[in-house]
Amino acid sequence: MHFLHLALSLLTASTTVFALEPLTVKGRKFFQNDTQFYIKGVAYQPKVNAEFTTTVIDPLADAANKNCSEDAKLIRNLGANTIRVYSVNASLDHDKCMNAFKNESIYVFLDVANPSTGIDRTDPTWTTTQYDAYKQVVDVFSKYNNTAGFLAGNEVVNNASNVPSAAYVRSAIRDLKSYIKSKKYRSIPVGYAGADIPDIRNELAAYLTCNATNTPQDNATEADFLGYNNYEWCGNSNFYASGYAARTNELQNITVPIFFSEFGCNIISPRTFSEVQAIYSKNMTDVWSGGIVYEFSEEVNGYGLVNITSTGERVKNADFGNLQKQWASVNPEKMSLLSYNTSDTRLPECPARNKTSWAVASDAFPITPNATFCDDAVKNLHCSVQGEPKGSKIGQVLGELCYYDQEACADISSDPYNGHYGKFSGCTGKQQLSFALDAYTKHHGDEACSWGGVGVLS
């Protein structure tokens, strides 16, 4: 009888598609079905076929990564329930890889940027070009139940001098949230992964999650969650010496889920991952939702849980077994969705603007890039850019032109400290140059249109 029963259940199993409930966010916690969910994650970005390509190395691309299924099983065996992927190419197929991870009940946090579309901290922009690229990633990955969240940036802000770039991150989050809503996709949360920078880390957390626009929660523009890349706990540290106690206290008023989007200091090797005991303990679980260990494969910086040989074999380092034991030994208390009361939750105050330490306004953000608006406006110009000049050429001409005639660049310029964003500041670089050249020509006569050899009169 037992054998018959087993055979029948195997038969049914093979005909049903394995279902995985999407994660949801309520208040400062993640939920799976109606039970709280703690992230036990690994950063997953093996340099798949790295020697053959200079383009984005997409570890979730079916064609490039033949090892998704084996890796998903190995990662499940490690005790993880989540991976984080830093860069994908939205024009490739991802069904097989995403399914392989889904089959092992593994969720995916995905960065939407790649090196050419990310927000540049020293010269931040939020343009139709970037928005379109991010939308493509959202279009592709929103159909998978195991997409846990999108990261609109990783360590964009990394010191007090580039704080203005935070405004662009907040706009990217706002616009991706509104895009997901407008497409009626599942309500996948959009967040950000921050670097651990003592001068600004708390202001940044508040800035990205604060009640900036005084709008009701249902069209709120703030981040849905925050990741924190943190390497403070090295070797056998403890809750206090590591800084974890201080960080937990500092973030107590943040009202969205927070987790370590990277952790695992490797100064002392092999790593014992003793911090796992603290992360999933009552000391931290009111504020934190777990963390993501950096990282699956050994790369030049030496954080690999496994080494990948030239034949594709995965060789476990001691860290792998150590982490596996730690994760298996923690069992954090899980709240039920229904008993979690968030009715009196208020978003935090926005940080005060300060010329030296926090030089960005929080009552206005970069405008939503709108391609139709830009395309229409550029049609009516007297002087505009023809052909396809290189990005570097556009940058050079704009730099010179705006230096000589600031006013001609008013509509494409931004001033994050005062919260002023030009109405064409979200257009493509080529369009911005057209607007600037047109205004410059108005000031200096038709001949001025030929600056840099890119402008043509209509």
Residues that bind ligand NAG (CB under 6 A): 17-22, 32-33, 55-56, 66-67, 69-70, 89, 91-92, 96, 99-100, 103, 114, 145, 211, 214-219, 239, 250, 252-253, 277-278, 281, 283, 298, 307, 311-315, 317, 346-347, 354, 356-357, 370, 372-373, 376
Minimal distance in Å, beta carbon 234 to ligand NAG? 15
Task: State which residue has the least CB distance to ligand NAG.
Answer: 55
Give the span between the Cα atoms of 294 and 42, in whole angstroms. 6
Interhelix angle 68-78/318-329, rounded to 10 degrees, is: 50
Q: Which position among 155, 232, 250, 298 bears the catalytic label?
A: 155
Question: Among residues 195, 182, 153, 148, which one has the least CA distance to residue 170?
Answer: 153
- Minimum distance of ligand NAG from residue 383's CB (angstroms): 21
Selected catalytic residue, list 203, 262, 275, 295:
262
Which of 388, 381, 376 lies closest to 429 in space, CA to CA?
388
Q: At what angle do helices 165-182 and 201-209 cross, to 10 degrees?
A: 30
The HSE-up count of residue 129 (CA atoms within 13 Å, CB side) is 14
CB atoms within 10 A of CB 116: 11
We find the least distance from the C-beta atom of residue 207 to ligand NAG, in angstroms, to be 13
* Smallest distance, ligand NAG to C-beta of residue 446, A: 28
CB of 448 to ligand NAG, least distance (A): 28
| Element containing residue 85 per DSSP (H, E) | strand 82-85
21 counts as catalytic: no
> From the CB of 139, what's the least distance to ligand NAG, in Å?
15
Cβ distance to ligand NAG smaller for residue 227 or 426? 426
Q: Closest CB to ligand NAG among 179 and 440? A: 179
Tell me whether residue 262 is one of the annotated catalytic residues. Answer: yes
Pick the closest to residue 141 from 260, 228, 22 (CA basis): 22
Closest by Cα among 244, 281, 246 to 263: 244
Which run of H or of E encompasses 172?
Answer: helix 165-182
Under DSSP, the state recorded for 159 is: S
DSSP state of 447: G
> Closest distance between ligand NAG and the C-beta of residue 294, in Å?
15
Contact 188, 326 (CB under 8 A): no
Which CB, 55 or 406, lies closer to ligand NAG?
55
Task: Identify which of 25, 57, 55, 31 has the alpha carbon closest to the alpha carbon of residue 44.
Answer: 57
337 token code pair: 């969705």
Nearest Cα residue to 202 out of 254, 153, 256, 264: 254
Q: Which stretch of DSSP H or E encloses residue 179?
A: helix 165-182
Task: Give me the least distance between CB of 302 and ligand NAG, in Å please.
Answer: 6
Nearer to ligand NAG, 158 or 274 (CB): 274
Cα torsion 144, 147, 149, 152: sign: negative
Q: Which is nearer to ligand NAG, 347 or 448 (CB)?
A: 347
Distance between CA atoms of residues 374 and 381, nearest Å: 11
Report phi then psi at 42, rounded to 5.
Answer: -130, 135
- Residue with Cβ nearer ligand NAG (92 or 456): 92
Nearer to ligand NAG, 39 or 401 (CB): 39
Residue 295 preceded by cis peptide, ω within 30: yes
43: enclosing H helix or E strand: strand 39-43
Instruction: Report residue 22 as tokens.
Output: 């999407």
Structure tokens at 399: 């730099």
Shortest Cβ 345–ligand NAG spacing (Å): 7
Q: Which regions of 217-320 does DSSP assign to beta strands (E)?
A: 225-229, 258-263, 288-293, 306-308, 314-316
Active site residue ranges: 155, 262
